[in-house]
Homo-oligomer: A and B are copies of this chain.
Amino acid sequence: MTLIQEKVKQAIDILRQQEIDLWLTFVRETSGVRDTALDLLVGPADLTWQTALMLTRQGGRLAIVGNLEKESLGRLGVYDPILGYDTAVRDLLRETITRLDPQRIAVNTSRNNVHADGLTHAMYEILCDYLAGTPYAERLVSAEPIINSLRGRKTPSELARVREAVRLTDEIFQQTFDYIQIGMTELEVADFMQVQVKARGLELAWPAENCPAVNSGPNSPVGHSGPTDIQIERGHILHFDFGVKYEDYCADIQRVAYLLREGETQAPAEVQRGFVTIRAAIEAARAAMQAGVTGNHIDILAREIVTGAGYPSYPYALGHQLGRVAHDGGALLGPLWEKYGDSPKLQLEIGQVFTIEPGLPVPGYGYIGLEEDVVITERGAEYLGTHQAEMVLIQR
């Protein structure tokens, strides 16, 4: 079974659980704006003309597509029947939906999860026009719960890919720690890491501008900004945020190292204290994560460990889901801030992969941020790959 076949089968199970009669993905010219639901419904191929992919809770897998794309869609071995058209999709779509007579039609619109929000405003209007005069325009609901479950619950073959991405990311981190010399710039180190990614035939997990992020010392701007020409010095905390994509699945990992000054055999006490605090927050979060708890609960718990130790509250969520992209949407380990919508209120599910990534500044030294990738199993959350248990010490 291909990954697409596996995910479509899983989607139909989810429709049954959620009592949704029809999940309608309605797209066009996907080389432009691309509904990410297509990644799981058709793979990387683009669809040119207005196309409707329809899964039903009875197991139906219908597609309506421009005639010139019937052949390629058919090769997936997923959709049957595939109905083609040349000039206008309207009547075929209207007739097909009328025949299915669904009570609830899920479409890809969501305020909370961008991956359930591939229906543009104009395509929504077009769809409502096509369904005008039928009862069906009134029966549209958000596909967010379907897509949250479908993207979140990794199948074994998806999980194997994430594990491999994590392993490869870790391997490149180890090489990088060996490579670093005093006086190198953040940009030089980032270049080295990107060369390692290319040499393995891999892609970066997010755009090259800030993959990796490299921050050396207290003056490097932390956040989603890229590496700079700041030089690595002894006494700096060196912070990385990096991940590779392996067969379409991502890792997203932060690591920290300390550049020992002459005479030092370990990091200064305040650096150590920062590291231990972040480590403790991550481990507490991981231990508390299990199916059924909300992501907000986990965020509060980890955040209190950091703020309770006297550090500022990090201005972002503790962790996000990980999969085909680094920020995979759905349930979030986050605070109840408006920008996060309802995502922090969702319950964790088995099969989801999360990052856990608290951080704090150590004045005069730099930024400590660790990020570990975990999967929710029936026994709770487990680290994917090796987690960073101790500060990496670099002596040059």
Binds B, one of A10-18, A29-37, A171-179: A29-37
**Given A117-B122, A118-B120, A120-B120, is A68 in contact with B224 using a C-beta cutoff of 8 Å?**
yes
Complex Cα spacing A131 to B325, Å: 31
Query: Which of A67, A68, A222 gathers most chain B CB within 10 Å?
Result: A68
Binds B, one of A45-53, A95-103, A160-168, A290-298: A45-53
Residues from chain B with Cβ under 8 Å of A115 in the complex? 32-33
Most buried by B among A90, A316, A329: A316
User: How many positions in chain A have a CB within 8 Å of any CB in the partner chain?
Assistant: 63
- Chain A interface secondary structure, helix, strand, loop or mixed? loop
CB of A326 within 8 A of chain B?
yes
Residues of B with C-beta under 8 A to A316:
68
Looking at A32, A34, A221, A326, the one whose CB has the most chain B CB atoms below 10 A away is A32
Find chain B residues with CB under 8 A from A117 CB.
32-33, 120-123
Closest chain B residue, CB of each to CB of A226? B72
Select one of B46, B207, B221 contacting A44, CB under 8 A: B207
Beta-carbon contact of B29 and A329 below 8 Å: yes
Given A325-B32, A339-B89: A225 in contact with B69 (beta carbons within 8 A): yes
A71-B121 contact given A44-B207, A87-B339, A114-B33, CB 8 Å threshold: no
A119 at the interface (CB under 8 A from B): yes
Tell me, yes or no, whether A57 is within 8 Å of chain B by CB. no
11 contacts between A and B (CB under 8 A): A31-B206, A33-B34, A33-B35, A71-B223, A71-B224, A111-B126, A117-B120, A117-B122, A117-B123, A118-B120, A119-B121
Given contacts A29-B329, A72-B210, A117-B122, 7 further A-B contacts (CB under 8 A): A28-B114, A71-B225, A72-B223, A111-B125, A119-B121, A120-B120, A120-B121
